[in-house]
C-alpha cells in the first residue's frame, strides 16, 4: 500500500520505519530534513508539502505534537485537505484534544475523506519495537480496512467508539500514567528516606497488586537517575492540559491529575521539560531533601 507519513519525531520515525520494513511504500514529510533523509535512505520518497503527500497516496498518517499542528497540516494552506481525492483516507495518531479530532474529521468528511483518531501509548521503546497500544475512534468499516496497518506498529489495537473516542481514551491513559509515576516516585523516596534500599522495595512489590507497566518502565530509570526521554515532560504537560480542559468541559473534577500537572509544570519552570516524565522523581527528592540511590544510603 502507498502510505503518506507526516511527522518523523521521536515516535513517528521508528513507526514509519516499521511500515517500510513491512513492505509498504511511504511518502514522508517533516520539517526535520535529517529525519526525512534517514527515511529516504531506508526507501521512502518525499512530498513537498502535506497536499503533495496526500495527492499520491491511499492513506495519510500523521504523528504530530499537538492540536494546532494537526489542524495546520490537515486544514491549513498546502494541507492534506487540498490533496483530497477519491479513495483517500486519513488516520491521525497524534495525541490531541478530542474536539479538534471531531473538527478535522468534519472538514475532511465534506471532501469525502474519512478519518480515524488513533493516538498511541508506549513511548519511544514501543514505537521502535512495534508494540504500541492504539486507542481508535471512528467508523467501524474504516477501522476494519486499515487495522492491519496499525497492527504493524502496535501490539494492541482497540476501537473505542466514534471519532474523538480514541483521544478520550488517550486522555484517560495519560492521567493514569501521570498519577502512577507520581506514586512510584513517592514510594521510592519514602523507602530511601526510611533507610531501605529502594531497588529492593521495587523488587519486593513489583509482582504484587502495586506492580504496573509504569513501575516496570520507570522505576529502573529513577533508580539510575536516567531521565533520557522516552516521553518528555513537556509532552505530558500538553496531554494533561487536554485532560483538564476536557474534564472541565464535561464537568468531571480530577484533583489527582491536576496536582501532578502542577508538579510537571514546576519541573518545566526549573528547566527539566525535555527530560523523561520519570524525572517527576526530582520534585519528591527535593521536598524530602534527599536523592535516592541503590543500597538505601542517604545522600
CATH of the domain at 103: 3.40.50.720
Q: Which helix (H) or strand (E) holds 216?
A: helix 213-224
In a domain, 298, yes or no: no
Q: Are residues 11 and 96 in the same domain?
A: yes
Q: Are residues 28 and 147 in the same domain?
A: yes
pLDDT of amino acid 295: 61
Check if the beta carbon of residue 65 is closer than 8 Å to that of residue 9. yes
Residue 113 has which C-alpha cell? 475523506
Which of 110, 134, 161 is a domain's end point? 161
pLDDT per position as a tens digit, 181-205: 999 999 999 999 999 999 999 999 9
Q: Are residues 115 and 181 in the same domain?
A: no
Q: Are residues 193 and 46 in the same domain?
A: no
Q: Which of 209, 228, 295 is nearest to 218 (CA)?
A: 228
Q: How far is 42 from 169, CA to CA, in rounded Å? A: 33
Q: Are residues 8 and 135 in the same domain?
A: yes
Q: Are residues 98 and 133 in the same domain?
A: yes
Helix, strand or coil, per DSSP, at residue 247 = helix
Q: How far is 83 from 59, CA to CA, in rounded Å? A: 12
pLDDT per position as a tens digit, 201-241: 999 999 999 999 999 999 999 999 999 988 899 999 999 99
Domain that includes residue 119, residue range = 2-161
Q: Are residues 186 and 151 in the same domain?
A: no
Which of 128, 161, 194 is a domain's end point? 161
| pTM attached to this predicted model | 0.87
Cβ within 8 Å of residue 94, ≥6 positions away = 7, 62, 63, 64, 65, 66, 69, 70, 119
Catalytic residue positions? 170
In a domain, 294, yes or no: no
Q: How far is 205 from 249, CA to CA, in rounded Å? A: 38
Residues of the chain with pLDDT > 70, as a percent, come to 98
pLDDT of amino acid 122: 87
Domains in the chain, number: 2
pLDDT per position as a tens digit, 280-295: 999 999 999 999 977 6
In a domain, 215, yes or no: yes
Q: Are residues 148 and 19 in the same domain?
A: yes
Q: Residue 268 is part of a domain; what is its CATH number?
A: 1.10.1040.10
pLDDT of amino acid 297: 54
Check if the beta carbon of residue 55 is closer than 8 Å to that of residue 32. no
In a domain, 251, yes or no: yes
- The full DSSP string for 143-178 is HHHHHHHHHHHEEEEEEEESTTHHHHHHHHHHHHHH
Amino acid at each position: 500500500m502507498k502510505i503518506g507519513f507526516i511527522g518523523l519525531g521521536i515516535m513517528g520515525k521508528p513507526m514509519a520505519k516499521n511500515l517500510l520494513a513491512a513492505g509498504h511504500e511511504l511518502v514522508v514529510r517533516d520539517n526535520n530534513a535529517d529525519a526525512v533523509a534517514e527515511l529516504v535512505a531506508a526507501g521512502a520518497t518525499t512530498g513537498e508539502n502535506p497536499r503533495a503527500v496526500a495527492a499520491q497516496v491511499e492513506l495519510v498518517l500523521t504523528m504530530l505534537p499537538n492540536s494546532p499542528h494537526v489542524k495546520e497540516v490537515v486544514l491549513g494552506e498546502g494541507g492534506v485537505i487540498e490533496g483530497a481525492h477519491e479513495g483517500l483516507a486519513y488516520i491521525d495518531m497524534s495525541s490531541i484534544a478530542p474536539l479538534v479530532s471531531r473538527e478535522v474529521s468534519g472538514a475532511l468528511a465534506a471532501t469525502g475523506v474519512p478519518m480515524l483518531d488513533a493516538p498511541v501509548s508506549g513511548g519511544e521503546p514501543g514505537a521502535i519495537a512495534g508494540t504500541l497500544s492504539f486507542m481508535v475512534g471512528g467508523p467501524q468499516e474504516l477501522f476494519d480496512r486499515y487495522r492491519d496497518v496499525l497492527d504493524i506498529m502496535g501490539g494492541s489495537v482497540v476501537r473505542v467508539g466514534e471519532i474523538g473516542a480514541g483521544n478520550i481514551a488517550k486522555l484517560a491513559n495519560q492521567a493514569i500514567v501521570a498519577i502512577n509515576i507520581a506514586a512510584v516516585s513517592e514510594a521510592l523516596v519514602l523507602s530511601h528516606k526510611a533507610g531501605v534500599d529502594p531497588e529492593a522495595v521495587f523488587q519486593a512489590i513489583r509482582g504484587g497488586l502495586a506492580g504496573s507497566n509504569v513501575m516496570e518502565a520507570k522505576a529502573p530509570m529513577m533508580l539510575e537517575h536516567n531521565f533520557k526521554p522516552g516521553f518528555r515532560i513537556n509532552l505530558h504537560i500538553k496531554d494533561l492540559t487536554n485532560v483538564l480542559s476536557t474534564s472541565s468541559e464535561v464537568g468531571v473534577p480530577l484533583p489527582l491529575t491536576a496536582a501532578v500537572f502542577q508538579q510537571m509544570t514546576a519541573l518545566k519552570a526549573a528547566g527539566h521539560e525535555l527530560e523523561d516524565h520519570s524525572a517527576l522523581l526530582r520534585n519528591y527528592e527535593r521536598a524530602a531533601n534527599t536523592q535516592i540511590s541503590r543500597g538505601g544510603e542517604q545522600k
